[in-house]
C-alpha cells in the first residue's frame, strides 16, 4: 500500500487538532486500551479529551441508549477537530431514530471529523443519508491506538487524513482492471451494518458511487447473501465501482466443498455489471486507511495499482 | 402445544397426496437421511417421489443455480400434492430473480403445498410477494423426517395440515396478553432470510399481518439488529402482532454483561407498539408446527394460551 499526499503551505497541522474519544456503541470492559490510545494520540500532537461517559457500562453497551445519545450530542456540541469512537460492537443503529442530525451536521460544518469503522458505519451512513455531510472511515481508538501493536500505516494515514495532507490512498488489486476509471461519491463501511440500514429512512441513496465494504466473522455465504440483497435492491448496479476491503476471521464449514470467498466474489461478478475490485486495506485488520465517506472521489487503476483520490 | 383440528366429511386423506422431495438450496452430503425421510413419509401414506436432482452436489449447494432452478420449475410443472424441500442452508435467494413465479403460482392453484423452513422462507415470501399465493412453513425432509429422533408432534401436525384437517395451532405464551385478539395475513419465517429480502422486489408488503419469526446461530444482538431494521423500515408497526418462535444455538459472549435474548425482546417491545408474543413452537428445534404462509388467520389469547386459526 502506498500513500499519496501533498502538503498545503498553510494547512492545519495535526497539533492544531482537538480530539475527543467517545463511546457510541459497545462497552469498554477495560480502561487500559483507552488510556494507551489517549497517550499515543497525545504523543502524535492531538489535544486529547476523553468524553465523560466513555467508560460507562450498561449490559454490552457503553452506557444505555440515553447515555450514548447524550455523549454523541455532547461531542457534536463541543465540535472538536476530531471525534474518534473508542470502539464499535453494536449500538449505533439503536440511536439512529433519535439522533439530532442537524447538530451532527453543524459540527461537521465547524470542522469535526467523525472517525471510526465497523458499527460507526451506521453513524457515517446516517449522516450522509440524512444530511449529505462527510465523515471518515478509519481506525477506532481502542482497537487501533489502544493496541500494543499499533500499525504505523494506520496511524500515519489517520494523521495525514486529519491534517488535510492526505489526498489519495493507493493499493494493489487483482489483474484485469488496468485502465479502469470511475468518479463518484465514496461510501460504505461494514457490510452487515450497511445492510441493516437498507429499507430505512437513514439509508443514503447514493447513485453512481464508489461503494467500499468490509466485514468480520461472516462466512462467505453470508457476505454473498448481503451483497446479493444489495444487488436485488438495485444498489450494486447503481454504483460505478464496488471496492472490497478485508473480510476476515470467518470459519470454513465442511459443507463448503470448494465454496469460498473467492467463489462468492466470482458469483457476484456474474450478477452485477458493476466492477468489483478487491484489495482495499480496510476492515478488521491492523493496517487500514482513512477514507472520506461522502466525498467525491476518483478511482484510477494502472496495471494492478489502484488510486482513490479526493 | 395443542392441535385443533376438524375433519371434513369428504376431505382428501393424506394417502391421496403425492409428495415430491427436492433440493432448492444446500447440498445433501449424505443420502441416508433422504432415504429415511422418504421411507417414513411413505409409511405415513404419501406417494413419495424423489426429484432427480435431489442429491446433486455443487460446492455447498444442491447443484448449481441452473440445476436447482430447473428442479424448482420441474416440481412446479408436475404439481404434486406436496413439494417438500430436503433441507435449507443457503441458495434460494440466488434464484429469486430467475424463478418463474407464474409457474409456481399455477402449481399452488392446482393444489401443491410448498413446505419447508429456514432458507425456504425466501421461496415462501417471494411467492407471497410476487403472486399472493400461499405456502406452508413446516418441517424439512432431511432435518425432520430424516432424523432418527423425528418428533411426533412435528410429523402429526404436518400430516394434518397437508390433509386439510388442521385448522389451528395452539401454544403457551408469556403472561400479559390475556384477551388479545388479531386478524391478518400470517407471514414470516427465518429472520435472517426475511431481512435479506427487504428492499428487493421480492419483499411481500404485508400490512396488518401476523409476523412469525425464528432463527438459529444468531446472537441476540443480531436478532435485535434485524428486528430493529424491520422496525425502522416501518414493518413492525404495520403488523397486528409479532410472534416469536425458537431462537437457538447462539453463543453468549463475555461482553454481554447481562444482555440476553430476553433483554433484546424487552428492548424491541419498547420501540414498537405492536405486541410481541413468544413461545411459537417453530424454528430450528425438533418440535415445530406447520403454518399457512399468506393465509388470513385469527390469533386469540386466553390467559397464556395462544390459538392461531385459519
The ranges of chain B annotated as CATH 3.50.30.60 are: 168-309
pLDDT in the model for residue B10: 45
Is A6 among the catalytic positions? no
The length of chain A is 310
**A196 to B233: CB separation less than 8 angstroms, yes or no:** no
Which of A27, A60, A219 to mutate to test binding with chain B, by most B CBs within 10 Å of its CB?
A60
As a whole number, the mean pLDDT across chain B is 95
DSSP B92: S
Q: Taking residues A280-307, what's their average pLDDT?
A: 98
Give the minimum alpha-carbon distance from B151 to chain A in angstroms, rounded to a whole number.
25
Active site residue B174: no
Residue B9's pLDDT is 41
pTM above the 0.90 mark?
A: yes
Please give the pLDDT value at position A15. 40
- Output the pLDDT for position A2: 52
Q: Given pLDDT bands bounded at 50, 70 and 90, which one contains residue B3? A: low
Residues A118, A135, A163, A196: which is the catalytic one?
A118
Which of A8, A14, A9 minimizes the C-alpha distance to A290?
Answer: A14
- pLDDT at B6 > cutoff 50: no
CATH architecture type of domain B168-309: 3-Layer(bba) Sandwich (3.50)
Closest by Cβ to B200, choosing from A224, A232, A255: A232
pLDDT at A10: 45
Is residue A155 among the annotated active site residues? no
Q: Coil, strand or helix: which one is B256? A: coil
Burial environment of residue A8 by CB neighbours within 10 A (0 to 12, 13 to 18, 19 or more):
exposed
Catalytic residue among A135, A202, A214, A219: A214
**Structure-block grid coordinates of residue A143:** 482497537
**How many other C-beta atoms are found inside a 10 Å radius of the C-beta of residue B195?**
27
Q: Smallest Cβ distance to B256: which of A59, A196, A253?
A: A59
> Is B27:A257 a contact under the CB 8 Å cutoff?
yes
Strand partners, A72: none
Read off the pLDDT of residues A223-235 as tens digits, 9 standing for 90 and up.
999 999 999 999 9
Distance separating alpha carbons of residues A133 and A249, to the nearest angstrom: 32
Contact A29/B255, CB-based, under 8 Å?
yes
Which of B160, B202, B214, B218 is catalytic? The answer is: B214
Prediction ipTM score: 0.94
Say if the Cβ atoms of A196 and B253 lie within 8 Å: no
A197 contacts in B (CB within 8 Å)?
229, 232
Query: What are B's interface residues with A at a Cβ cutoff of 8 A?
Result: 26-27, 29, 57, 59-61, 89-90, 93-94, 96-97, 195-202, 221-222, 224-226, 228-229, 232-233, 253-259, 263, 267
Q: Which residues from chain B sit within 8 angstroms of residue A258, using beta carbons? A: 59
Span A19-44, mean pLDDT?
98
pLDDT of B263-282, one tens digit each?
A: 999 999 999 999 999 999 99
Q: Are A83 and A106 in contact (CB under 8 A)?
A: no
Contact A29 B221 (CB under 8 A): no
Continuous segment of H or E residues that includes residue A113: strand A113-116
Surface-to-core class of residue B252, CB atoms within 10 Å of its CB (0-12 exposed, 13-18 middle, 19+ buried): exposed
A22: nearest Cα among A64, A50, A45? A50
- Decide if B60 and A233 are in contact by the 8 Å CB cutoff: no
Catalogue the E-assigned strands of A157-197: 166-172, 181-190
What does the pLDDT read at residue A4? 52
pLDDT of residue A14: 37
Return the axis-axis angle of helices A121-131 and A101-109, rounded to nearest 10°: 90
Q: What is the mean pLDDT of chain A?
A: 95
pLDDT at B14: 37
Q: Do B232 and A97 touch (CB under 8 A)?
A: yes
User: Which residues on chain A are in Cβ contact (under 8 Å) with B60?
Assistant: 221, 253, 255-257, 259
Asked if A59 lies within 8 A of B257 by C-beta distance, the reply is yes
pLDDT above 90 (res B81): yes
User: What is the distance of C-alpha B194 from the center of its chain?
Assistant: 11
Determine the pLDDT at residue B29.
97
Lowest pLDDT segment from A35-49, A245-259, B1-15: B1-15
Min Cα distance B3 → chain A (Å) is: 36
DSSP H helices, A44-98, are 65-78
Q: Sort out which chain B residues have CB atoms less than 8 A from A220's CB and list them.
A: none
Beta bridge partners of A185: A296
Please check the confidence at residue A7 and state whether its pLDDT lies above 70. no
The CATH class given to the B18-163 domain equals alpha beta
Q: In terms of Cα–Cα distance, which of B81, B117, B287, B134 is closest to B215?
A: B117
Residue pair A139/A158 in contact (Cβ under 8 Å)? The answer is yes
Residues forming CATH 3.40.50.10740 domain(s) in chain B: 18-163
Catalytic residue among B17, B202, B219, B284: B284
| pLDDT score, position B7 | 44
Q: Is B10 exposed, middle or buried (0-12, 13-18, 19+ CB in 10 A)?
A: exposed
Summarize the confidence of residues A219-245 as an average pLDDT: 98
Distance from CA of B40 to the nearest CA of A (A): 25
pLDDT tens across B12-63, in order? 443 458 999 999 999 999 999 999 999 999 999 999 999 999 999 999 999 9
Amino acid at each position: 500500500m502506498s500513500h499519496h499526499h501533498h502538503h498545503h503551505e498553510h494547512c492545519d497541522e495535526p497539533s492544531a487538532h482537538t480530539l475527543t474519544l467517545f463511546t457510541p456503541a459497545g462497552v469498554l470492559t477495560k480502561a487500559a486500551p483507552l488510556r494507551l490510545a489517549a497517550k499515543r494520540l497525545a504523543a502524535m500532537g492531538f489535544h486529547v479529551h476523553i468524553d465523560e461517559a466513555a467508560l460507562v457500562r450498561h449490559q454490552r453497551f457503553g452506557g444505555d441508549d440515553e447515555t450514548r445519545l447524550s455523549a454523541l450530542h455532547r461531542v457534536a456540541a463541543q465540535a472538536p477537530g476530531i471525534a474518534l469512537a473508542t470502539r464499535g460492537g453494536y449500538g449505533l443503529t439503536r440511536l439512529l431514530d433519535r439522533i439530532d442530525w442537524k447538530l451532527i451536521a453543524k459540527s461537521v460544518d465547524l470542522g469535526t471529523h467523525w472517525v471510526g469503522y465497523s458499527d460507526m458505519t451506521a453513524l457515517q451512513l446516517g449522516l450522509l443519508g440524512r444530511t449529505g455531510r462527510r465523515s471518515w472511515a478509519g481506525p477506532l481508538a481502542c482497537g487501533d491506538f489502544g493496541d500494543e501493536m499499533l500499525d504505523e500505516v494506520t496511524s500515519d494515514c489517520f494523521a495525514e487524513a486529519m491534517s488535510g495532507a492526505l489526498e489519495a490512498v493507493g493499493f494493489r488489486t487483482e489483474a484485469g482492471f488496468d485502465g479502469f476509471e470511475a468518479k463518484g461519491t465514496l461510501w460504505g463501511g461494514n457490510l452487515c451494518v450497511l445492510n441493516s440500514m437498507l429499507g430505512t429512512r437513514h439509508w443514503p441513496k447514493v447513485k453512481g458511487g464508489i461503494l467500499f465494504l468490509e466485514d468480520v466473522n461472516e462466512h462467505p455465504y453470508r457476505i454473498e447473501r448481503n451483497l446479493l440483497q444489495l444487488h436485488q435492491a438495485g444498489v450494486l448496479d447503481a454504483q460505478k465501482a464496488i471496492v472490497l476491503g478485508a473480510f476476515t476471521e470467518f470459519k470454513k464449514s465442511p459443507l463448503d466443498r470448494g465454496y469460498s470467498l473467492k467463489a462468492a466474489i466470482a458469483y457476484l461478478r456474474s450478477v452485477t455489471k458493476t466492477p468489483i475490485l478487491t484489495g482495499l486495506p480496510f476492515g478488521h485488520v491492523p493496517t487500514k486507511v482513512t477514507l472520506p465517506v461522502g466525498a467525491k472521489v476518483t478511482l484510477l487503476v494502472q496495471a494492478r495499482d489502484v488510486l482513490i483520490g479526493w
